[in-house]
Structure 1
Amino acid sequence: MNRFHVHLNVSDLASSVRFYSKLFAAEPTVLKSDYAKWMLENPRVNFAISNTGRAPGVDHLGIQVDSEGDLAELGHRLDAAGGAVVPEEATICCYAQSDKLWTEDPQGTRWETFHTLGDATTYYAADAACATDGAACSPDVRSVKPKVDKGTGCCAPQSGCC
């Protein structure tokens, strides 16, 4: 089952953790010095906050999927929506290893669709080959030419980072 994802940038992680822990009536599933995540069942959402140097507010929205097939299906839907789709395979971000597809809606809101493969020991892995901005683990979609799978015309994750 897919899970809605929201990632907020916050200026004070500790007070934000206290606030959201009370709001959700649950402690974070992941808590680091610069990041916290709640994997909630009601509502079914992956809610994350971080204070990694970006302006406070909504960083991006997304959909977390359970399988590679689900990610490929969402990739086809993103492609049909008409925006540039930027794949990242086996990327390290938010203390997790994931395959991802990024896009932006017509207003410029960044959307991340992803399949988590496992945990990671760092917030992000700096990789010169990746299109990420480092602090937020997310690409500047407008500045990256997306890779397209010539066989399907879509955006399934490919070997390499981006």
Structure 2
Amino acid sequence: MKRLHLHVAVEDLGQSIRFYETLFGAPPSVLKPDYAKWMLEDPRVNLAISQRGGASFGVDHVGVQTDTSEELAELSARLKAAGETTFDEAGANCCYAKSDKTWVADPSGLKWETFHTFGEITTYGEDVGPTLKAEAAASACCGAPAGEPAPARSCGCAAA
């Protein structure tokens, strides 16, 4: 089964956590000093928020999380068939998780991530993904650390 993924860059993590806890009626399933994530069943979504610096706030990227490697392969094949340039990442370390991913930017430049997570890591992660399009390439793995400019590359957040 697949789950919609949304990653939102926020200005005030504490205030945003309180908002989403109230909205969803549940605390985050993952809580770190710079990151929070809800793995909800109703609605079936993986919502991640982070306060990692950067010039803009709002939707960083969207995606689809799969339960299996086979589902990821199927979605990756669909992305490749859609005709847009894709980028595959095997064993990416990002957002406290280890995942296999395929990235694409839609025709308007919106970053899409398809991923299968298979482990946790103790750090936010250092992996740097593809430059999909100039507009989509304004952030590093879920945004740059607070106080640092975002490099001209992008990576996604697949947290376990």
Q: TM-score, normalised by structure 1?
A: 0.80
The answer on whether the counterparts of 1:99 and 1:114 sit within 8 Å (CA) in structure 2 is yes
Q: Against the structure 1 CA distance between its residues 126 and 83, is the aligned structure 2 distance closer, same or farther, given a 3 Å change threshold? A: closer
Residue 124 of structure 1 aligns to a residue whose secondary structure is coil
Provide Cα deviations, 1:24-69, integer angstroms capped at 9, x if missing partner.
Answer: 0000000001000000000000000001113211000000001111
In the alignment, what sits opposite 1:146?
none
Identity %: 53
Determine the C-alpha separation between the residues in 1 that align with 2:92 and 2:11: 25
Secondary structure of 2:124 counterpart:
coil
Structure 2: any 5+ residue segments left out of the alignment? 132-138, 144-151, 155-160
Letter of the structure 2 residue corresponding to residue 136 of structure 1: C
Is the 1:95–1:124 contact (alpha carbons within 8 Å) kept by the matching residues of 2?
Answer: yes
Contact 1:124 1:134 in 2 (8 A): no
- Count of paired positions: 139
Give RMSD over aligned pairs.
2.0
Query: How far did 1:124 drift?
Result: 1.2
Letter in 1 for 2:66: V
Structure 1 gaps of 5+ residues are: 142-162
Aligned to 2:60: 59
Q: Which residue of 1 aligns with 2:89?
A: 88
Question: Is the Cα–Cα contact under 8 Å of residues 131 and 140 in structure 1 kept in the other structure?
Answer: yes
Q: Is the 8 A contact 1:53 1:135 kept in 2?
A: no
Q: Does 1:124 align with 2:125?
A: yes
The letter for the 1-side match of 2:89 is E
